[in-house]
Structure formats: structure tokens, C-alpha cells
Structure 1
């Protein structure tokens, strides 16, 4: 094996990949890539919904402000939010698609 390579277990590899993915804040393109929904869906279904805005603003999402475009999310907390509120998010999305 070349000196600049090492062998690690699949478990350790997966842990390192997840760690690398969560060490920086996610932007809208990151959310779109991870959840396979477009930016408008996130804005209308989650970020602009009053109930979710109260839960997210100042907790794990930085909302756009003057001179700043787009949302920025703390990855671990936002992922937890998505898991916990998925049924409600899905219902909200269904209402919005009618």
C-alpha cells in the first residue's frame, strides 16, 4: 500500500464523512442537494411558515436580512428538526400543492 494511504473501517469512514458534512453551515444549495426539494419549496413550506419560523429563527436557521440573501442552517439541529417535524412538514406541503 502506498505510504500516503491508510486503511480504515467502513464505520470510521462513514463517521468521518458525516463529520465533514456537518462541520459547516448549510446554505440553500446544500439543502436542495440533501433533501431533493427546490429552494422555493423550502421557503414556502418551512422557512416562511409562521409555526416553523418561530421554532427555527435564532435556533438553527439564520434568516435573510438586509444585504444578505438566502437562509443558512446549522446542520445537526436542522436535520433533527426535519426528522422531528417531517409529518407536519409533509401535511403543510400537501396543503400548499392544492
Structure 2
């Protein structure tokens, strides 16, 4: 999976990059065929914002964002949302496949 990390009004430190890459491993454990992840970190006064877009084969991109007072917390929250969306997508795909197999056995 290709990871693109960028910042608006914030410098991407090695610690922030490491935090994002650590969470990427969590996503790849759920789904190995992920194409690309784009993460944008931004600061606006006291709000630390993290936005992420995950491209999955055969589906629309998954998007999540989180705004917190701490950048690390916003990264964690955003990845939690992406994981939930990815699990839901994976369950839909698996359920559809199982339903097709059942129908094939029933009518085939």
C-alpha cells in the first residue's frame, strides 16, 4: 500500500510519520489488497485535524476525519473510523460472496 502523508500549516515530524505508519499496519492486517492511503494533517488555531482517504479495490474510497485538541489523538480517532469502515466494507463483500454460493447450491 502506498502512503502519502502531508501537512497544512504543520511540519511532519518523524514521530508523526511513525504514528501514521504504525496505524497503516493495522489496516493492512484487515485487508491486504489496499491501494493507497492519503493522510492530511492540519492545524487551525487550537484544533488539530487529521483527514484520511483510503482507496480499496472495487469500491468507492473510504474517507474519515477527526478534529481534536491533540494531533496524536486525532490520528488515532481517524484511523479508528477508517478501520470501522473497512470492516464494514469487508463484511459486505464476504456476505455477498456467501449469498452467491448459497444461491448457486440451492438452484444449481
Query: TM-score normalised by the shorter chain: which range applies?
Result: 0.3 to 0.5
TM-score scaled by structure 2? 0.30
Q: Answer 1 or 2: higher relative contact order, Cα 8 Å, separation at least 6.
A: 1
Structure with greater helix percent: 1
